[in-house]
Structure 1
Amino acid sequence: MMKIGLYFGTFNPIHIGHLIIANHMVEYSDLDEIWMVVTPHNPFKKKSSLLENHHRFEMVYRATENYVKIKPSDIEFKLPQPNYTVYTLANITELHPDKEFCLIMGEDNLKSLHKWKNYETILEHHHIYVYPRIAEGTVDHQFKNHSKIHKVDAPIVQISSTMIRKGIKNQKNIQPLLPKEVWEYADEMNFYKK
């Protein structure tokens, strides 16, 4: 059975840090593919700075086009909002019963996993692959040696979409932080300039 890692994010915009992590996860773990799941709206974030769903999906599509094992996914666009990961996992598993779905998350998200809606159900049915992040706080003891949580020794990437948006707004050259296709699309569409 094919093992798919689901990497969720608003990808506003997708940057090289996202691709470094996704590529590392698919090359250095037992995952067969990574699906970059573009989230329409994270219940924990303000929506005002988000580009339209189709623009963010287009950037993810362009960024991953040349990666055989990394695919864009708009699965959450079709689900009622606000949406929660547990519902997406149930939906995607129903749509693709021939595949095993796992979650990819940063260590910072693992620290708040106990606050997620129905996190026990997620852990009961899915493995979680964790990449390191520099973050404050500690991981809840119940997740430290959990059989379904796997730490992957991926590079620590200190690039954020927020930093990129601010850089563009302040007319800084952030081109090296974005895949070429994403930079060209964002520049052509005048994204984040105001």
Structure 2
Amino acid sequence: MPDRIGLFGGTFDPVHNGHISIAQSFLSSSYIDELWILLTPFPPHKDQEKPTSYSDRLHLLSLAFNDMDGVIISTIENELKKPSYTYRTIQTLKQKHPGKAFYFCMGEDSLSAFSSWKNYKLILNEVELLVAERPGADHSMVDKAILDRAHFVTHQPLDISSSQVRKFVLKEKPISDLVPQSVSTYILNQNMYKSLK
């Protein structure tokens, strides 16, 4: 049984090659044995009439990571009381899996904003951070207490975003360079992202 678990959360709307690349970087590090991907329920927005369903995003994640060893897709954040907060998720996982060491995985951009997260100091008490570092990143504005709990993983980020994928689909531009083929096929067959969010 793997004892060192990375937790990588997101809305993944949709999952894209950048997510896959960062997952590979986390798994290639010496810190974790497994990466658990936590699919976050989509928060309700007044300006969003048709949010992408949880089940569709979950299916896309399953397609994207189907062939990657060491990855587990978790729906725990959909099972917990809403809204889902990272601290509560981590607490629940630690209670369910005593003896495992959890690392919370994030990109460099999330690290810069981490001090604005709800209960971020409590999160640091529970887990260490695994950060996919952008080349040339400046950590001078990041709180020392956060940096003391952070481990940096070498990563070459891909310049892809979920919003870019959605816009490409809306404009009927090819997305084959942005997402895996299986994800592209499902999105197009299900007519996803045909209205702008």
Q: Which whole-Å CA distance do the structure 2 matches of 1:142 and 1:57 have between them?
A: 36
Q: Which whole-Å CA distance do the structure 1 matches of 2:12 and 2:142 have between them?
A: 27
Structure 1 partner of 2:82: 81
Deviation at 1:124, TM superposition (A): 1.2
Deviation at 1:46, TM superposition (A): 7.2
Deviation at 1:180, TM superposition (A): 1.5
Cα deviations across residues 141-181 of structure 1 (Å, max 9, x unaligned)?
A: 324641x2111111122100000000100010111211121
The match for 1:141 among 137, 140, 143 is: 143
2:21 and 2:157 in contact (8 A); partners too: no
Q: Which whole-Å CA distance do the structure 1 matches of 2:98 and 2:189 have between them?
A: 40
Q: Structure 1 residues 98 and 47, CA, compared in 2 at 3 Å: closer, same or farther?
A: farther
Mean Cα displacement is larger for which, 61-70 or 34-43? 34-43
> What number of residue pairs does the alignment pair up?
192
Q: Which runs of 5+ in 2 are unaligned?
A: none
Q: Which whole-Å CA distance do the structure 1 matches of 2:9 and 2:31 have between them?
A: 19
Code of the aligned partner of 1:141: D
Mean Cα displacement is larger for which, 126-135 or 77-86? 126-135
Code of the aligned partner of 1:115: S
Deviation at 1:29, TM superposition (A): 3.0
The 5-angstrom pairing of residues 1-194 of structure 1 reads 2-41=3-42, 48=48, 50-133=51-134, 139-143=141-145, 145-146=147-148, 148-194=149-195
1:23 and 1:70 in contact (8 A); partners too: no
Q: Which whole-Å CA distance do the structure 2 matches of 1:100 and 1:137 have between them?
A: 25
2:33 and 2:70 in contact (8 A); partners too: yes
1:103 and 1:129 in contact (8 A); partners too: yes
Code of the aligned partner of 1:139: M
Q: Which whole-Å CA distance do the structure 1 matches of 2:189 and 2:110 have between them?
A: 33
% identical equivalent positions? 33
Deviation at 1:191, TM superposition (A): 0.4
SS at match of 1:175: coil
Q: Which whole-Å CA distance do the structure 2 matches of 1:37 and 1:91 have between them?
A: 13
SS at match of 1:167: helix
1:36 and 1:71 in contact (8 A); partners too: yes
2:17 and 2:158 in contact (8 A); partners too: no
**Superposed CA RMSD:** 2.3
Q: Which whole-Å CA distance do the structure 2 matches of 1:69 and 1:29 have between them?
A: 13
Q: Which whole-Å CA distance do the structure 1 matches of 2:115 and 2:123 have between them?
A: 11
2:130 and 2:153 in contact (8 A); partners too: yes
* Structure 2 length-normalised TM: 0.88
Deviation at 1:110, TM superposition (A): 1.1
Q: Which whole-Å CA distance do the structure 1 matches of 2:17 and 2:174 have between them?
A: 15
SS at match of 1:111: helix
* Structure 1 length-normalised TM: 0.90
Runs of 4+ in 1 over 4 A off after TM superposition: 133-138
Code of the aligned partner of 2:141: V
